[in-house]
Amino acid sequence: MFAAVAPRYDFLNHLLSLGRDIAWRRAAAKALREALAQPGSLAVDVCCGTGDLAMALARYSAGKVIGTDFCRPMLLRAREKGRRLSRPPFFLEADTLALPFRDDSLDVVSVAFGFRNLADYNAGLREVYRVLKSGGTVAILEFSRVRWPVFGPLFRFYFHQILPRLGTLISGVRGPYQYLPDSVSQFPDQESLAVAITAAGFANVRYRNLTGGVAALHLGEKE
Ligand SMILES: C[S@@+](CC[C@H](N)C(=O)[O-])C[C@H]1O[C@@H](n2cnc3c(N)ncnc32)[C@H](O)[C@@H]1O
């Protein structure tokens, strides 16, 4: 599915979110800047797609940033975009449910709009927990539930009725832009995701709504 939309993925992200996706990823990177600024820090952005969050992390990193994804056409675009940076992330083909990293080896694991796509969220959380060092931070940026009263119904109309049609028209691919609202409806809301992250063993789990809850940024630490 992602291989089919890779050529138009970034353009559609920015268009369909009216550019908010850039600010959301920037907020995620900023929330991680202390951990990234430690000399020699190792951060992995899983389900990195075309690499935008990995590249945002690289700006704050005093160590290494790696982006992983199992969709090669998305990774190739990430690598191409990274060429513009002086210190680009390293991009690696890998399944988030079986990461090629040792136990307790990473300072930061992030994921933007990819966690929802995992076949098993709890297995994904266990895998992230396994690879993080104790004291390491997980950041999950994902679509969530809008909490603003008037904006909520308007957004839901846009998200369920307009976005799938626009996305299909511009990408020329049937499926992925219908899958987007459908998968968000089935994904845990802010509170339920925080409960799942805590149940996976993370401490100090908190979240912040972005654009009224269109997206939410969850953070947690491995004790
Ligand atoms: C919606 S895109 C998000 C891409 C990027 N993180 C962003 O912020 O735009 C979801 C990505 O997750 C990847 N993905 C889904 N399941 C995965 C898995 N089990 N292992 C690795 N990548 C996965 C897809 O290939 C796709 O590139």
For residue 198, pLDDT beyond 90: yes
Q: Is the CB of 52 under 6 A from ligand 1?
A: yes
For residue 205, pLDDT beyond 90: yes
Considering the chain, what percentage of its residues have pLDDT values greater than 70?
Answer: 100
- Pairing assessment for the beta strands 202-210 and 106-112 based on DSSP bridges: unpaired
Q: Residues 198-208: what's their mean pLDDT?
A: 98
Residues contacting residue 154 through CB under 8 Å, at least 6 positions apart: none
Q: Is the CB of 118 under 6 A from ligand 1?
A: yes
pLDDT at residue 52, rounded to an integer: 98
Question: Counting atoms of ligand 1 from 1, which one is nearest the CA of 124?
Answer: 19
Low-confidence winner among 129-133, 176-180, 197-201 (lowest mean pLDDT): 176-180
Considering the chain, what percentage of its residues have pLDDT values greater than 90?
Answer: 95
For residue 181, pLDDT beyond 90: yes
Rounded CA gap, 178 and 129, in Å?
Answer: 31
pLDDT at residue 107, rounded to an integer: 98
Closest C-alpha to ligand 1, atom 8: 112
Q: Residues 41-63: what's their mean pLDDT?
A: 98
For residue 216, pLDDT beyond 90: yes
Closest C-alpha to ligand 1, atom 15: 117
pLDDT grade, residue 174 (50/70/90)?
Answer: confident
Expressed in angstroms and rounded, the spacing between residue 49 Cα and the centre of ligand 1 is: 5
For residue 43, pLDDT beyond 90: yes
Q: Is the CB of 69 under 6 A from ligand 1?
A: yes
For residue 153, pLDDT beyond 90: yes
Residue keyed to tokens 């060429």: 83
Nearest to 116 by CA among 5, 7, 218, 3: 218
- Tell me the pLDDT tens digit for each residue of 82-111: 999 999 999 999 999 999 999 999 999 999
Residue pair 183/113 in contact by the 8 Å Cβ criterion: no
Q: Residues 138-142: what's their mean pLDDT?
A: 98
Q: Is the CB of 49 under 6 A from ligand 1?
A: yes
pLDDT at residue 131, rounded to an integer: 98
